[in-house]
Structure 1
Amino acid sequence: MKSITVFVTGLAIGIAATVFVLIAILPKHIFVEHESKLGFNETVDAIVNSAAENNWSMPHKYDLQATMKKHGFDVNPVMVFSLCKPEHAYQILNSDEVRSVSAIMPCRVAVYEKDGKTYVSMLNAGLFSKFMGKSVRSVMGAASAENEQILAPVLM
């Protein structure tokens, strides 16, 4: 009876710890936010140039401030880039087993202003990839490292 009580207590503590990590800690790490050393427009230009220099394409650039203005809302500048490296995308899109990951493709990077400063944020693909299988983990890990390289010219 004592071993069952110890087992149930340990299980309950493990479940509570897991729930705590999922609710309190993990959400703070899902996105990576960095302050830019440049102003908004300079940050946007530097990311566009750096993406091209690192052989990443930019199929879409979203000006969310302009989009919101069309709907009658006024927000600070926000630009979101879709970054793609076809070699990485192919490894996901070519596999029926992992194609569901395409829901978070291509990589997104946001540039925005808050508190008078410019920031850059993106999904923490390196962390997210740890929950995926080996092939996705490899691709997302490489993409995450390359995205950090693309952002290096603007980060403090």
Structure 2
Amino acid sequence: MLIKVESSKGVKEVKEKLEETAKSKGFGVMSTHEVTDILESKGHPISYRCVIVEICQPKAASEVLSRNPYISTAMPCRVAIFEENGKTVLSTIAPTQMIEMYNEPELKGVAEEIERLVKEIMEESAK
């Protein structure tokens, strides 16, 4: 399941707000990928702005990785910010859905908390 939030603000403004809001909620910003610029520089442009921001909450990351190192393949949380139909869209894969792939029901509570926080970060960034 995807979590999707729309904004009337531009991609750059939403990205900056997302990075700021994530930090204020105890997440680290691991990396930012300017996808549109990268593809254009490689000779494969797309017709809209797209940025991916990778965020991580250290306590939760430590907890899940201590239990199952394979979960690292789904980390950190990636929030895509892109233009669609005149709006800016923020989208991510729900952590609760990702955790199910690893058959770790004991981590459901951690995934639910991270999902709640990421959705909050996205919603605040869209305002």
Q: Do they superpose with TM above 0.5?
A: yes
Q: CA RMSD in A?
A: 1.7
Provide the secondary structure at the position in 1 that maps to 2:124. Answer: coil
- 1:147 is aligned to 118
Instruction: Looking at secondary structure, tell me which structure has more strand per residue.
Output: 2
Q: Which protein shows a greater Rg?
A: 1
Instruction: Give CA deviations for 1:14-58 in whole Å, capped at 9, x if unaligned.
Output: xxxxxxxxxxxxxxxx22222123221211111011011111001
In structure 2, runs of 5+ residues without a counterpart are: none
- 1:99 is aligned to 69
Q: Which has the higher contact order (CA 8 A, sep 6+)?
A: 2
Aligned: 1:38 with 2:9:
yes
Match of 2:91 among 106, 117, 121: 121
- 2:60 is aligned to 88
Q: Which runs of 4+ in 1 moved over 2 A?
A: 126-136
- TM-score computed with the length of structure 1 as normaliser: 0.73
Instruction: Give CA deviations for 1:83-113 in whole Å, capped at 9, x if unaligned.
Output: 0111000012212xx2211110111100000
Aligned: 1:77 with 2:49:
yes
Instruction: Give CA deviations for 1:116-145 in whole Å, capped at 9, x if unaligned.
Output: 211000002234445642332122111111
Cα distance, 1:155 vs structure 2:
3.8
Q: Give yes or no for contact 2:3–2:119 (8 Å, CA) kept in 1.
A: no
| CA distance, structure 2, for counterparts of residue 136 and residue 108 of structure 1 | 19
Q: How many residues matched?
A: 125
Larger mean CA deviation between 119-128 and 99-108 belongs to: 119-128
Amino acid at match of 2:21: S
- TM-score computed with the length of structure 2 as normaliser: 0.88
Q: Percent identity?
A: 19
